[in-house]
């Protein structure tokens, strides 16, 4: 790889495990305060995932895996049976936090598999294996992002990019998926301007993407979501690049609500539309996007903005994600290379390789 992570961002890792604690950049405080929080129990990690203190598919996966590592390092279980009871309870608590991003289940199942394959080992050795698997998940995420950053920047020409939500460093362990592509493009002078959608209802674009890309010196303009179509019509967008919470076997994918509208608009304006997602985000067990469970979040997220009430107390529909059919997609940038249509065939090939 041409660049190392520290040459691409000034940010530290968003999710870490230190001295038996899960240490996160607190995404609820940004952009007002840039602070970390150290979580000491599995329930605190689960709450952090539910409340979006940590969010973004790969970051959620890593945080959950570190939640199990936290259990391994702090458990007072007297024997293996007691520990297994605690382990499966923690696994369930973490699993039941958010339903859409498949990285959560992928990471938890990776750790569970290691435990089940070593059931006969000593308790101390099982605990060590859990911690080491969680570190592997985090390190592999950084490595995947670095690769995707280089692949993406290789296939994209100089131009203006529009992104939605936050698929940056904050949404992963480090660098981001989209974030890595943007950072390599920026390093090479290929990113002329970044358009950032504010991303209602909870403003991951305005609060998080605008903050982290500005922090790294990337030239950007923030727009409200309803401006994206006009900006495209004015010829000011060369590429749209987004992350994903779950890509399925035919290339359909779930991402932050609003992504589908952007994809339809991109097609109308002939703008290439890319997803950047590691293979940990690809769920080959689902055939089409219709099968992806879509999280619905509390109505307060829509009724308020930045803590202020902006609407009367009416009924609200608040799906956190939408599904974009693969026909709108130009390509999927993964750590194993770029996948182009036909997605069903080429995703299968990617997993066979």
- The reply to whether 177 sits near ligand MRU by the rule CB under 6 A is yes
Active site residue 245: yes
Rounded alpha-carbon distances, angstroms, from residue 114 to 75, 119, 125: 18, 9, 11
- The reply to whether 171 sits near ligand MRU by the rule CB under 6 A is yes
β-partners of residue 162 are 195, 240
Comparing CB distances to ligand MRU, the nearer of 70 and 276 is 276
Comparing CB distances to ligand MRU, the nearer of 86 and 301 is 301
Q: Which residue has the tokens 């004015």?
A: 234
- In the complex, minimum distance from the CB of residue 66 to ligand MRU, in angstroms, rounded to a whole number: 17
Size of the site for ligand MRU (CB under 6 A): 17
Known binding positions for substrate = 55-57, 98, 204, 255-256
Instruction: State phi, psi for 63 to the nearest 5 degrees.
Output: -65, -40
Segment near ligand MRU (CB under 6 A), from 51-59, 183-191, 286-294, 305-313? Answer: 51-59
Catalytic residue among 216, 225, 245, 252: 245
Q: Which parts of the chain fold into alpha helices (H)?
A: 5-8, 42-50, 57-74, 80-95, 102-117, 123-155, 178-187, 210-215, 228-233, 259-268, 300-303, 343-352
Report the residue from 25, 68, 94, 101 that binds ligand MRU according to the rule CB under 6 A. 101
Report the residue from 56, 61, 67, 99 that binds ligand MRU according to the rule CB under 6 A. 56
| Contact flags string 257-296 toward ligand MRU, x per CB under 6 A | ----------------------------------------
* DSSP code of residue 208: I
Q: Are strands 273-276 and 191-197 parallel, antiparallel or unpaired?
A: unpaired
Euclidean distance between CA atoms 282 and 57, whole angstroms = 11
Known binding positions = 55-57, 98, 204, 255-256
Report the residue from 9, 53, 204, 334 that binds ligand MRU according to the rule CB under 6 A. 204
Which residues from 314-343 bind ligand MRU, rule CB under 6 A? 320
Instruction: State phi, psi for 233 to the nearest 5 degrees.
Output: -60, -30
- The reply to whether 255 sits near ligand MRU by the rule CB under 6 A is yes
- The reply to whether 55 sits near ligand MRU by the rule CB under 6 A is yes
DSSP notation for 297-325: --THHHHEETTEE-S-S-----BSEEEE-
Report the residue from 13, 14, 30, 58 that binds ligand MRU according to the rule CB under 6 A. 58
Report the residue from 9, 160, 172, 209 that binds ligand MRU according to the rule CB under 6 A. 172
- In the complex, minimum distance from the CB of residue 97 to ligand MRU, in angstroms, rounded to a whole number: 11
Euclidean distance between CA atoms 329 and 247, whole angstroms = 11
Q: Determine contact, residues 247/324, Cβ cutoff 8 Å.
A: no
R_g of the chain computed on alpha carbons: 20
Segment near ligand MRU (CB under 6 A), from 35-43, 187-195, 237-245, 301-309? Answer: 237-245
Euclidean distance between CA atoms 180 and 168, whole angstroms = 7
Q: Determine contact, residues 15/59, Cβ cutoff 8 Å.
A: yes
- In the complex, minimum distance from the CB of residue 218 to ligand MRU, in angstroms, rounded to a whole number: 17
Catalytic residues: 245
Binding site for ligand MRU (CB under 6 A): 55-58, 101, 165, 167, 171-172, 177, 204, 243-245, 255-256, 320
């Amino acid at each position: 790889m041409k660049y190392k992570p520290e040459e691409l961002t000034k940010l530290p890792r968003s999710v870490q495990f230190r001295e038996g604690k899960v240490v996160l950049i607190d995404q609820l405080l940004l952009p007002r305060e840039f602070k970390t929080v150290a979580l000491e129990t599995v329930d605190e990690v689960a709450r952090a995932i539910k409340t979006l203190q940590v969010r973004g598919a790969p970051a959620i996966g890593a945080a959950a895996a570190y939640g199990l590592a936290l259990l391994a390092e702090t458990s007072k279980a007297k024997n293996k049976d007691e520990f297994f009871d605690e382990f499966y309870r923690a696994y369930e608590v973490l699993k039941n936090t958010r339903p859409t991003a498949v990285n959560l289940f992928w990471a938890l199942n990776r750790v569970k598999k290691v435990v089940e394959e070593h059931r006969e080992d000593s308790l101390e050795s099982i605990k060590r294996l859990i911690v080491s698997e969680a570190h592997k998940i985090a390190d592999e995420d950084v490595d995947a992002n670095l690769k995707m950053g280089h692949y993406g920047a290789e296939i994209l020409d100089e131009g203006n990019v529009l992104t939605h939500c936050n698929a940056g460093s904050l949404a992963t362990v480090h660098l981001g998926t989209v974030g890595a592509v943007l950072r390599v493009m920026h390093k090479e002078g290929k990113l002329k301007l970044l358009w950032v959608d504010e991303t209602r209802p909870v403003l991951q674009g305005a609060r998080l993407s605008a903050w982290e890309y500005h922090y790294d010196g990337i030239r950007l303009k923030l727009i409200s979501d309803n401006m994206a179509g006009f900006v495209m019509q004015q010829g000011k967008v060369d590429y749209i690049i987004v992350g994903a919470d779950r890509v399925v076997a035919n290339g359909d994918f779930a991402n932050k609500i609003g992504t589908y509208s952007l994809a339809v608009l991109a097609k109308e304006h002939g703008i290439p539309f890319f997803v950047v997602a590691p293979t940990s985000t690809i769920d080959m067990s689902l055939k089409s996007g219709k099968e992806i469970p879509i999280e619905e979040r509390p109505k307060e997220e829509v009724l308020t903005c930045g803590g202020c009430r902006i609407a009367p107390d009416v009924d609200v529909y608040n799906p956190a994600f939408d599904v974009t059919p693969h026909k709108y997609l130009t390509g999927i940038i993964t750590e194993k290379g770029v996948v182009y249509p036909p997605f069903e065939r080429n995703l299968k090939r990617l997993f066979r390789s």
